[in-house]
Amino acid sequence: MKNRPDSEMDTRKHIGRVQELLGQVQGVLKLRADVHDVSKLGADEKPYFDAAMSLWGMTYGSPKYKAALARLGPALEHHYKVNDHHPEHFGTFRCPICHRTWMDNEAPGSTCFEATKEYGGHPRFCPKCSPVGAIFEASLIPNKPSLDWMNLIQLLEMLADWKAASERHANGNLARSIEVNTARFNMTVAQVELLRSTAEMLGWL
């Protein structure tokens, strides 16, 4: 039939664009894979992790594991601050305007005002809004790490991190890690199911 509509060209254009966008995701994941946990090799972290090699022989989440983990304090503080695939990277404060979160000890970087020191010396000005003069008092959020602020790329790296780490622990497995971290990070049912279904699709469970 003459002049019959043909959607093939439009569909192929759409397919190509999706392939292009997914290629961009692959590139971002590759970059993150290349630098994953490299901070553990630096002077701020390596000496502490050298002294904590016994962690990998312990059961994840056990009292003995938690006690050994506590000795990594300074190294973990640095590690969480520079690695955003950890829920602990996202801080205690949240701006009610831009919704950015930041750590207790993160400088606000204001060029207009010097940060006030309240609530135990924590800065209350948003690091993003302050430099442009839009100073807003931060809304305090619970001082407990959460997946709520993480994007899909960060969550994928986190899940891969949990999988790899579970293989280093005595009796470790990813299902157990998700179970322990559900309470640790106050995860929602939707978050747990997202991680489980992704892990199942990848053959990690």
Q: What is the pTM assigned to this prediction?
A: 0.75
Q: Are residues 81 and 117 in the same domain?
A: no
Question: How many domains are contained in the chain?
Answer: 2
34-60 pLDDT, tens digit each: 999 999 999 999 998 888 777 777 777
CB atoms within 10 A of CB 49: 16
Instruction: Give per-residue pLDDT as tens, 102-137.
Output: 555 444 443 223 333 333 334 456 666 665 555 555
Residue 69 is assigned to a structural domain of this protein: yes
Task: Lay out the sheet containing 93-94: strands in order across.
Answer: 101-102, 93-94, 139-140
Assess if residue 17 is contained within a domain.
no
Buried b (16+ CB within 10 A) or exposed e, 92-114: bbbbeeeebbbbeeeebebeeee
Domain that holds residue 191: 38-89+145-201
Whether residue 71 lies inside any domain: the answer is yes
Assign 96 a pLDDT band (cuts: 50, 70, 90).
low
CA distance 189 to 193: 6
On the question of pLDDT at 189 being above 80, the answer is yes
Co-location of 96 and 76 in the same domain: no
- 18 CB neighbour count, 10 Å cutoff: 10
